[in-house]
Amino acid sequence: MGMPVVDFKTTDYIRITELGDLTFSKDFLDLGGNSPVRYVVAGTLLKYREGYLVNTRIVGVESKTMVASAQSFIPDEVASAVLGKSGHTPPIIPPVATSDAIMISPIASIIQA
């Protein structure tokens, strides 16, 4: 679409630790200053029946207007192949029960500037 994409959790360095070589951080002190952010890609990942339901949207930061949205279903067989033999995703946040689904994780790692 011609928009530059920025991952706002990328630091200006690579931290070498016993856990691995890390270039991403959730500590705001490790991240850069202000970015000229115009759009945010966000969404949710839900455990639903025999797989995972992915809902995403692009939202204008200033106007709060949804520019685009998408929904996709990932069957358990595909998710298991990607996640490994156990097929279990470690929850990032505590699961939240809804009528037919369980929320596994919010997605908001990529910002479009």
pLDDT, tens only, 15-72: 998 988 988 888 878 777 777 788 888 899 899 889 999 999 999 988 999 999 999 9
The C-alpha atoms of residue 111 and residue 32 are separated, in whole angstroms, by 14
Domain assignment present for 20: no
12 SS3 class: strand
In a domain, 92, yes or no: yes
User: Rounded distance, CA 36 to CA 26, Å?
Assistant: 19
Q: Which residue has the higher pLDDT, 91 or 8?
A: 8
pLDDT at 61: 85
- Residue 98 forms part of a structural domain: yes
pTM of the full structure: 0.55
Parent domain of 59: 36-112
